[in-house]
Every structure is written in structure tokens, then in C-alpha cells.
């Protein structure tokens, strides 16, 4: 019961992120006036962001090349390019960071609470907050741009404040996803349990084998959750069960293992092609048939 509870907790903390992420994408896309930025941000936090934006401005400006200037569109493009994998900062990066950070302070200063911002300001603030926060994070992680420890600490604190604006999930979304995971497990548990418990090894699981496999699964998934890595509970648990069967010399059912392996190998390319096909079909219907340009 203890190890099963651990697996359940770890599974919810990791696998639940997919559901929460999808729901937040829908909410931000459909209701940007409410969910583009965190609606629960307090007036105190908004005031502090304005003050800290001004505090970090000299730190950023010190890195700007003399005479460097940028526009709104160029700044967004420069920071977006910088955030790409493997990209490095160039002459326009710090100028763009300085410009976008100034804009954040000006937008937040317009209203004491998020609900008093216009929809356009909300969308603009979300974009700029993401670009500035992630760019600062990349600079801090690199460890070369801001070597002064005090400055790095100030920037890190500011980044956390910016993350609080965009990286949020309402409590009701968490409860809804947890409820759906629980109901789904109650309805569809039998097929998975029979496969893992009876069809991987040539003999049924013993209590010791089950506990051992679940401890490994619990630790692996929880570690992945802490590190922010997506993993599959069934993949890890079935591998753990196979390991206990091999260690106990109980024998393995090769047909089941072959089917599981094929599912692992084929899932990613199948979903890639399916997603691309559905998007292409929807794009054709909306833009070519209906001419929605």
C-alpha cells in the first residue's frame, strides 16, 4: 500500500502536468483577457515588479554597446533568436533586453492590479515578461554575462517575480486534472494491471517483486518530476516489473515485451505524423476552402 501510494503520487505530479499544460494553453488562447497573466497577482507584487524593473535596468544597461538602439519588433525578434537552442548573445541582445525590461515597468505601472490592464496590455506583458525572464535565466545559467554575485542574485530574484506572472496554474485546474486522472484510473485500470501483473513474467508478481518495482518507479518518476523531465509511468513500471522477473529468474513473456517495445518505438513517429496530418487538414479547410486569411 505504501509503495503503490508513492507511485500514485509521483504519477500524478508528473503525468498531471500534461493535462494542466493543455488546459492552460486553451485558457490563454481563448480567454487572454483573464489568463494571459496571473489574475491572482497582488497589488504589492505589481508594485515590487515596477521597483525591481528599475533596479535591474542599470545592470542590463551596463552591458549595452554604446550607441546600440532597437525598436519594439526588433527587440522581440532579437530575444526570440537568443532563446533558440545553441544561440549566443550578440550586439543587439542586451539592447533588446534593456528595451523590453523598460516596457515591462511601464505596462505594470499603468494599473495597480492585473484586472485593470487592457487585454492588449495583458498580451503584451505576457510576451515581454517571458522574453525577459527566460533571457535573464539563460544569461545566469551561462555564468559569463553577469559575473558579479550581487548582480546575479538581483537578476535571479527579478526573474522569479516575472515567472510568477506567466507560470501559474489556477487551483481549480489542478483539482480538475487530479479528478480526471483518478476517474480514468478507476475505469481503465484492469487492462494495465493484467498486462503488467500477469503478462510480463511467466509467473504472477510476488509482494516483494511488486514492492521493489514500485519503489524504483516511485523514485524514478519523482526524480524526473523534480528535474522537470517528462516520463511514462507505464514504461517505467513495466520495465521495473521485467527487472524483478529477470532477477528472480521467473522468466519473461517475450511476446508481451515485444508488443510493449513496438508501442514505445512507434508511438512518437505515429503521433508526429498524425498531428502533422490533422494540422494540415485543418489548415486546408480553414484557409483554402473558406479563405480565412
At 289 the three-state DSSP class reads helix
User: Which three three-digit cell numbers place residue 93?
Assistant: 541582445
pLDDT score of 211: 92
Using alpha carbons, select from 135, 136, 155 the residue that is nearest to residue 84. 135
pLDDT tens by residue, the chain, 293 residues: 899 899 988 988 888 888 898 999 888 888 887 888 898 888 899 999 999 999 999 999 888 876 566 777 888 999 999 999 888 888 788 999 999 999 999 999 988 888 888 888 888 999 999 999 999 999 998 888 888 889 999 999 999 999 998 889 999 999 999 898 889 888 888 888 887 777 888 888 888 888 999 999 999 999 998 888 888 888 888 888 888 888 888 888 888 788 878 877 888 889 999 999 998 888 888 776 666 55
pLDDT score of 268: 83
pLDDT score of 65: 78
pLDDT score of 291: 61
In the block, which residue shows the cell 494553453? 25
Instruction: Specify the pTM.
Output: 0.72
Whole-angstrom distance, CA of residue 271 vs CA of residue 191? 22
pLDDT score of 153: 92
pLDDT score of 292: 53
Residue 66 dihedral angles phi and psi, to the nearest 5°: -55, 130
Q: What is the DSSP track for 222-245? A: HHHHHHT----HHHHHHHHHHHHH
CB 108 within 8 A of CB 49: yes
Residue 252 dihedral angles phi and psi, to the nearest 5°: -120, 145
Using alpha carbons, select from 10, 17, 9 the residue that is nearest to residue 167. 17
pLDDT score of 283: 83
pLDDT score of 56: 93
pLDDT score of 162: 93
Amino acid at each position: 500500500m505504501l509503495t503503490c501510494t508513492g507511485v500514485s503520487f509521483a504519477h500524478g505530479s508528473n503525468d498531471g502536468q500534461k493535462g494542466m499544460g493543455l488546459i492552460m494553453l486553451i485558457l490563454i488562447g481563448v480567454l487572454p483577457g483573464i489568463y494571459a497573466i496571473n489574475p491572482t497577482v497582488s497589488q504589492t507584487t505589481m508594485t515590487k515588479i515596477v521597483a525591481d524593473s528599475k533596479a535591474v535596468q542599470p545592470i542590463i544597461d551596463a552591458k549595452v554597446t554604446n550607441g546600440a538602439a532597437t525598436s519594439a519588433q526588433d527587440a522581440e525578434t532579437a530575444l526570440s533568436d537568443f532563446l533558440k537552442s545553441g544561440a549566443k548573445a550578440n550586439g543587439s541582445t542586451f539592447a533588446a533586453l534593456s528595451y523590453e525590461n523598460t516596457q515591462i515597468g511601464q505596462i505594470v505601472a499603468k494599473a495597480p492590479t492585473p484586472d485593470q490592464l487592457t487585454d492588449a496590455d495583458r498580451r503584451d506583458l505576457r510576451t515581454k515578461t517571458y522574453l525577459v525572464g527566460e533571457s535573464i535565466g539563460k544569461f545566469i545559467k551561462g555564468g559569463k554575462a553577469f559575473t558579479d554575485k550581487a548582480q546575479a542574485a538581483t537578476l535571479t530574484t527579478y526573474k522569479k517575480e516575472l515567472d510568477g506572472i506567466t507560470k501559474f496554474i489556477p487551483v481549480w485546474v489542478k483539482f480538475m486534472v487530479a479528478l480526471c486522472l483518478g476517474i480514468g484510473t478507476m475505469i481503465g485500470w484492469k487492462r494495465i494491471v493484467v498486462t503488467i501483473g500477469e503478462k510480463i513474467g511467466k509467473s504472477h508478481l510476488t509482494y516483494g517483486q511488486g514492492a521493489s518495482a514500485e519503489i524504483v518507479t516511485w523514485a524514478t518518476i519523482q526524480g524526473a518530476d523534480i528535474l522537470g523531465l517528462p516520463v511514462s509511468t507505464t514504461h517505467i513500471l513495466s520495465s521495473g516489473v521485467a527487472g524483478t522477473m529477470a532477477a528472480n529468474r521467473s522468466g519473461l513473456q517475450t511476446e508481451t515485451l515485444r508488443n510493449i517495445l513496438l508501442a514505445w518505438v512507434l508511438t512518437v513517429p505515429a503521433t508526429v505524423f498524425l498531428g502533422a496530418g490533422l494540422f494540415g487538414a485543418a489548415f486546408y479547410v480553414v484557409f483554402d476552402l473558406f479563405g480565412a486569411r
